[in-house]
């Protein structure tokens, strides 16, 4: 767990503080603001990446004032810092770094659906501003409409006005298109930053550097050499108290068109001409658009039942708070994807994500085609397993490769070895809860790690036929603490393949 002590001032290393601006957070009393935005701003302050001319306005519907907001968030920061399970965990809060944020916090009570709220915001915001929608998805369009109608999205001179929109961005292709059309009536595409916190992780960003900065990889990163790709995002947690959100959403809507497709695009996109935001996002959109619509036979839905997770008995999904007793919502999804382009035609991409699984792991595994077995058929080995490269994103951060070597001795015997590195072994462990880079990039106007409208819609287009054609049968059951339903194993077995272990093993 990274220590959230202040970082060394990065100005000496060439990283400049963001330009002066006001961050307006709609939903200042929500969990996202408390757990992620405030710790991220604290870390940015400790790194010297926030300017003196920085301020924060928290907008919410409850009663309060500047002091109550400051006191409440200070208490929350202290509680999270002492929680070992929190991504924000430290021996203590640095008074200078938190003081920088606390003293710049201001509160505004307002209803997101009333014009006077935005007029009150307008009276307080001068110069550049970032408006953050840390609210339920149903308010995204409403808030952008309010900002536009109040003139808060007009950009004059060198000042900027940008809007950060959280996920889920739509619930299907039609709603995503409608939301894109709605917000683009109020501003230019360049002003809207559709956020995906997966892209804030250094290891996700490093996939591009790993692929494109090493001449060893690019020649073999294609269908002639790669057998298949597996992308996994496994969680040990259940839906906890989020049943009200999760019931109409499910694993597919919650994870696939955004998080999982972002990982897919990182590993599968063509090399951009530069790391310019539009060049990178154009290649991502091309990859997403090449994903073929997914037939029902290439999808498996699962729902966890009671079981043992991390050494304790846990309830099944239908017994969680705010969940229907006959719920047909999936908590697990496995998909087989086909990408129709010159690089990947014929290479299956297998995706799985689920809650209450046997371990916590987010990774991309690239399985290379096996070597011809003929010359080794008389050696003491049952088979030659393929070379496997695993890019691990969570909880560890690193890359490992498994391949075949000769076992020492007089006979030609084949053994299996692994080479690996972890980022923490080579680079300083910096405070990070996943939003620091994204917030900083938005303030400096770098949209590389944010989704463009066409990228969002391409992701929904791939899964939309599946959403419309869900079978009426309940999702396949799997016990909490397991690797998922048997049907997911069958999905790969019919192709003569199997899932890699969520615990990091090949078998």
Interatomic CA distance for residues 59 and 61, integer angstroms:
7
Out of 259, 338, 397, 498, pick the active-site residue: 259
Cβ contact 28:134 at 8 Å: yes
- What are 499-505's contacts with CB under 8 Å, separation 24+? 499/230, 499/232, 499/350, 499/352, 500/230, 500/232, 500/365, 500/388, 500/390, 502/232, 502/234, 502/357, 502/358, 502/359, 502/361, 503/358, 503/359, 503/361, 504/361, 504/390, 504/392, 504/400
Please list, in sequence order, all residues whose beta carbon lies within 8 angstroms of the beta carbon of residue 132, skipping any fewer than 6 positions away. 23, 24, 25, 26, 27, 37, 163, 164
C-alpha R_g of the chain: 24
- Side-chain half-sphere of 289: how many Cα atoms within 13 Å? 11
3-state secondary structure of 143: helix
Cβ contact 469:296 at 8 Å: yes
Interatomic CA distance for residues 87 and 321, integer angstroms:
24
Interatomic CA distance for residues 213 and 278, integer angstroms:
19
Interatomic CA distance for residues 65 and 72, integer angstroms:
11
* Inter-axis angle of helices 95-102 and 38-46, nearest 10: 120
Interatomic CA distance for residues 353 and 157, integer angstroms:
46
Q: Is the dihedral of CA 91, 97, 102, 103 positive or negative?
A: positive
259 is an active site residue: yes
* Distance linking the first and last C-alpha atoms of the chain: 28
Please list, in sequence order, all residues whose beta carbon lies within 8 angstroms of the beta carbon of residue 114, skipping any fewer than 6 positions away. none
Question: Active-site positions?
Answer: 259
């Amino acid at each position: 767990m990274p220590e959230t002590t202040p970082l060394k001032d990065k100005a000496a290393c060439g990283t400049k503080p963001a330009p002066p601006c006001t961050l307006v957070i709609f939903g200042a009393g929500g969990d996202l603001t408390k757990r992620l935005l405030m710790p991220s701003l604290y870390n940015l302050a400790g790194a010297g990446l926030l300017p003196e001319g920085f301020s924060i306005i928290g907008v919410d519907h409850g009663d309060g004032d500047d002091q109550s907001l400051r006191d409440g968030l200070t208490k929350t920061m202290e509680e999270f810092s002492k929680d070992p399970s929190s991504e924000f965990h430290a021996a203590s809060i640095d008074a200078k770094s938190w003081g920088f944020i606390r003293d710049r916090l201001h509160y505004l009570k307002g209803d997101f659906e009333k014009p006077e709220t935005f007029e009150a915001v307008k009276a307080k915001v001068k110069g550049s501003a970032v408006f953050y929608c840390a609210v339920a998805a149903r308010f995204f369009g409403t808030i952008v409409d309010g900002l536009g109608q109040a003139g808060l999205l007009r950009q004059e001179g060198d000042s900027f006005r940008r809007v950060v929109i959280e996920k889920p961005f739509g619930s299907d292709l039609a709603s995503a298109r409608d939301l894109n059309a709605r917000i683009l009536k109020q501003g230019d595409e360049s002003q809207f930053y559709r956020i995906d916190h997966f892209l804030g992780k250094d290891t996700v960003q490093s996939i591009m550097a790993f692929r494109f900065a090493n001449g060893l990889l690019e020649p073999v990163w294609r269908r002639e050499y790669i057998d298949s790709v597996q992308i996994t995002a496994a969680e040990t947690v259940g839906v906890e108290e989020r049943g009200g959100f999760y019931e109409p959403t499910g694993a597919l809507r919650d994870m696939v068109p955004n998080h999982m497709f972002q990982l897919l695009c990182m590993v599968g996109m063509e090399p951009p001409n530069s790391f310019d935001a539009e060049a990178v996002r154009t290649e991502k959109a091309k990859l997403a658009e090449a994903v073929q619509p997914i037939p029902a036979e290439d999808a498996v839905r699962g729902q966890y039942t009671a079981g043992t997770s991390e050494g304790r008995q846990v309830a099944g999904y239908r017994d969680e708070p705010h969940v229907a007793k006959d719920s047909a919502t999936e908590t697990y999804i496995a998909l087989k994807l086909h990408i129709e382009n010159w690089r990947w035609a014929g290479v299956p991409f297998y995706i799985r994500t689920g809650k209450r699984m046997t371990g916590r792991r987010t990774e991309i595994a690239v399985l290379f085609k096996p070597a011809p077995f003929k010359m080794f058929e008389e050696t003491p080995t049952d088979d030659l397993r393929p070379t496997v490269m695993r890019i691990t994103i969570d909880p560890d951060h690193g890359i490992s490769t498994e391949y075949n070597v000769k076992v020492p001795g007089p006979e030609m015997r084949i053994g299996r070895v692994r080479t690996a590195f972890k980022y923490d072994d080579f680079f300083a462990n910096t405070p990070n809860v996943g939003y620091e880079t994204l917030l900083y990039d938005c303030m400096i106007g770098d949209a590389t790690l944010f989704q463009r409208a066409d990228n969002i819609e391409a992701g929904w287009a791939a899964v939309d036929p599946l959403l419309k054609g869900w079978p009426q049968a309940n999702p396949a059951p799997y016990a909490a603490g397991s690797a998922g339903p048997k049907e997911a194993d069958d999905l790969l077995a019919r192709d003569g393949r199997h899932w890699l272990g969520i615990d990091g093993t090949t078998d």
